Every structure is written in structure tokens, then in C-alpha cells.
Amino acid sequence: MTTPPAWLTEATYFGVLASIAAYALGVWLRRVTRCAWLNPLLVAVVLVIVVLKACHLPYATYNRSASLITYLLTPSTICLAVPLYQQLALLRRHKWAVVAGTLTGVLSSLCIIVLLSALLHLDHTSYVTFLPKSITTAIGIGVATELGGRVPIAVAVIILTGILGSIVAEKWLALLRITHPVARGIALGSSAHAIGTAKAMEMGAVEGSMSSLSIVVCGVCTVVLAPLFAAWL
């Protein structure tokens, strides 16, 4: 097995710099090509994997040097409360729509996982790994751990769900003729969590704040309901 260069294994912030550079390149590619499938996060994931493979660098080493980004995950999620506070009056006016939309999103996500797991004959560990797929990573890690799932796979599934949701969101909402900003924000937050919320903020302030709220409500609902669904299979 080829040994990675010593300066890479000893570099304290290599993971942080590589991640930021890969994401910045993804943003540039998206801006230049205007291709929806060139999501900056997806591009960053692919580029980091290529770099790790090319340098023969173990994931554990990269993860250790990128721990600062992981540490900032929870605070950055909490910061989504700012646009929510700015739209508090709108939230009060549409509170029942928010409750109905988020509950529908959580239940449909969990039921689809149950159905597909039964059809594909997944073992229990794999099944519970997929249950938190539509909630933000900071909460999903805790849910997957509590249920006995495979945390690395759960994180990958959560990220992939968010990326796909943000990619298809605009065209899918247009196809279904969903134009109300509250409905669009709830749809994105309920299905694509924080990554979808970033897309919702591009659509508008109302969409962004409603999506931020959906992340919190969906996270809480999933924490409560996931153990119940975990007992089904």
C-alpha cells in the first residue's frame, strides 16, 4: 500500500483547506456553466474523494484535519433561526399550514423508507440507517446513533438527499404549479433540510425562513417518530 506524503498526514488544516477549495471550485463551475446538476456540494464531495484517492490519504486522517468544519455544523444550523425570526409575523399567520406541511413531509419520508426497505429486504441496521435521511445532519447523526444505524452511511444519505432536493426543487415545484412562497419553503425544508434551505434562500426571504422552520419541526418530529418506525422492521 502506497504511503501518503508526510506533510499531508501531519498538516493540521489540510482537510479544511481542501474542502473549502473544492466547494469554491464547485461554486465557480456552477456560475460558469449554469448547470443545475453541478451542485457545489456535490462537486466538492467528488473532488475531495479524488484528492484522497490520488494522495492515498486515509479518510480518518482527512476527517481529523477537517474537524473544524464538522464542529461548525451545529452552530451554522442554529443560525438559520435568524431569517425565521425576521418572518415571525408570517409564521403566525400560516402556522397550521406549516404544521400540516412538515408533518406530511416527515410521515411520507418515513413511510417510503419502510416500504422500500421491505421491498428490498434490507436488514434492520440498514433500515434504521435510512430513517433520518430527510433531516439535517446535526440531528440525523444523533438519530442514526440512537437507533443503531451506520452513521457514515446515514450522513452520506442525508447529504445526497439534500443535494438531489436542491437540484430538482425549482423544476419540480414549477411542474406541480406550486407558487406560494410559504408552500415552496416548507417543501424544501421538509425534504432537503439545510441544503434545501440554502436553495430556498436563493428563491426568496419567505421561502428561506419557512424552510428554516421546517428543518427544526421535521427534526423534532423525526426524533419522536423514528424509534416507533424502527420497531416495524
129-177 residue pLDDT tens: 999 988 888 888 889 999 999 988 998 899 888 888 888 888 888 898 8
14-26 residue pLDDT tens: 888 999 999 999 8
Mean per-residue pLDDT for 69-79? 77
Domain boundaries, the chain: 6-71, 81-230
CB 215 within 8 A of CB 132: no
d(CA 205, CA 211): 10
Report DSSP letters for 136-201, one per residue: -HHHHHHHHHHHT--HHHHHHHHHHHHHHHHHHHHHHHHHTT---HHHHHHHHHHHHHHHHHHHHH
d(CA 118, CA 230): 12
Burial of 9 from C-beta contacts in 10 A (0-12 / 13-18 / 19+):
middle
27-66 residue pLDDT tens: 899 889 887 778 888 889 899 999 888 888 888 888 888 8
CB 224 within 8 A of CB 105: no
Q: Is a pLDDT exceeding 60 seen at residue 1?
A: no
d(CA 126, CA 120): 11
d(CA 214, CA 185): 8
